[in-house]
Amino acid sequence: MVDIAFSFSAASLATSSGLQNLYDLLIIRGALKSLLLNSRTSARKGMKQHIGIALFAPKSWRLQMPWSAPKGFWCSLSGAMDPAPPSPPRPAAGLRVPGVVAKPAARPELPRETVAFLGLGALGTPMATNLLAAGFPLTVHNRNRQREEPLAALGARRAATPWEAATGSSLLCLCLSDDAAVRAVLLEGPDSASGGLAPGSLVIDFSTIAPASSEELAARLRERGVSYLDAPVTGGTEGAKAGTLSVLVGGSERDLKRARPLLEVVGARVSHFGPVGAGQRVKAVNQVLVAGSYVAVAEALALGQRFGLPMEQVCEALMDGAAGSWALRHRSANMLAGRFPLGFRLALHHKDLQIALEAAAATGLELPLSARVAAIEAELMAAGHGDEDVSALARWFAPQLEPPPLASPFPVPSAEAAAWDQRYREGRDGWELGAPAPPLDTFLRKDPRRPLPPGEVLVPGCGRGHEAALLAELGFEAIGLDLSGEALQEARRLHGADRPGLRWLQANLLDAAALRSAGLADGSLQGVVEHTCFCAIDPSRRFDYLAAVTRLLAPGGWLLGLFWCHTRPGGPPFGSDPHQLDDQLRGAGLVPLLWEPARGSRTERSDEWLGLWQLPAGRD
């Protein structure tokens, strides 16, 4: 039994010589097909006569072409020599062109599917190139249209819009940056891809997004008769170029069977984990592991350098021991050299890690190490390193310049500020968390009930400033307010100093005169986002707190809060029963639009309630 494997890159066909060699290849392939119908002896003899065997061994045949192979081409022939037909043999390594990576396994016969590929970034471009080289008819589209040109030169059809790309395509592949991008390209607007998909089409989503987003997309596409697989990948740009990615699939067995020929072109391992969303959950686990391994390597290298050790030799000695890891083997050299060429962007890993943190919180699980890595990545992104590889985490362990001291716009009583600085140092009131509070984060990013018009929004008791930075990212004019100068210093280092859409203010919310001198006039705010501050203050001062909030809100303004409700034994030494909080908020003149137990709250310590309250537009 003989197995033949032929592969060529699309680049090798871009020249007339490449096309001639392909013609030669087809002739040889036909000759081999007829030869294999003969006996083992005849086949061996025939191959010697017609093709010219350069290397022959009892258990493996290696084929060398009589012509000079073009760049990007390789061929291998392998077969078992036993008289009885064995199980399918492992193909031999074959003749390879230097510098070209290709998988030696024979490809299955490709179905007659037409493919559209949307998203030609660092992963999408090599993945699409491999599909084109494997013979899939391919249409491509990218928001930056220039990225389509190299693939068009190799034979891909360009589409002006996602709708045009999807029209006539039976398989639609997505490789986009985040949930919002996938939703916009696939579902939103007259040019969205879903409008061009015919019933019976299949969407293969290589993007890394939240599991809940994958489930939502699948449900909406199902209404149109379109199937969906979530298939995030891991392996970096190296794996994308070599076609050796690991593909993590969620969806039906039937859809996976249909997609498998395509998936096996881009990946060396295709694993099915269950229904839609399962692939994204496995990717979250992967990104937690990546976070820990990368930061562990960066930290260990910093320690060795402080010891004055020969670190190249140290890494070589440790790679094959218990401390060995992919990150140590493939990224330690760049970390030591201070070079961070792209394998996977740090900013994208930070986004993925936030998905993992949010998904974990929804189960009641905290991930303190991952949260700390996310905070380090946010700091590096603020310093301009988000477009570097994840291995740029090593920068955090290098000597850093402290940001300029935070200037207070008005005098703050030193004793009061010092007390809040001490509170910050003790890590109280959730300041120790390395990410926004998951229920607030989820509501602000994704909840369809969010009727929050843009405008100026205050975050009192902002701590490290994650909620304020998130609001700025979502298009609000965010103001992070805190009495702790140390907390605001950390916020500036993590998210940047004052800039359009985000500023920091050291002040007491109850000091109306100080707020006015800082530009916060009565009735000037569109909204207030509250997390712990209201429940953390002394209950006797809560009326004053709510009075300050309602004074600052414009008519129709809103208060979004995550309120800690001290309703179970072992809860924090502050908080209130949700019914008591409801009465206090109504007593301040606020009307509830949403008041419910928060999903993803830390129920082992306290209950949390998510509330959206509005100040009636008709107030005096």
Task: State the catalytic residues.
Answer: 283
In one letter, which amino acid is 542? R
Residue 137: DSSP 8-state: -
Q: Which two three-digit tokens encode residue 264?
A: 């096996």
- Single-letter amino acid, residue 162: P
Token pair 């040109």 is at which residue? Answer: 149
How many other C-beta atoms lie within 10 A of the C-beta of residue 566? 18
Dist CA 339 CA 463 (whole Å): 33
Cβ neighbors of 570 (< 8 A, separation 6 or more) are 605
Q: Which of 65, 61, 64 is nearest to 43 (CA)?
A: 61
Residues 6+ apart with CB under 8 A from 581: 535, 563, 565, 609, 611
Reference 33, options 3, 72, 54, 8; nearest CA is 3
Query: How far apart are the C-alpha atoms of 563 and 182, rounded to whole Å?
Result: 32
| DSSP letters for 575-604 | ---HHHHHHHHHHTT-EEEEEEEPTT--TT
Are 122 and 345 in contact by the 8 Å Cβ rule? The answer is yes
Residues recorded for the chain: 620
Give the span between the Cα atoms of 187 and 456, in whole angstroms.
Answer: 30
Name the residue type at position 287: Q
DSSP-derived 3-state class of residue 552: helix
Phi, psi values for residue 584, rounded to 5°: -65, -40
3-state secondary structure of 368: helix
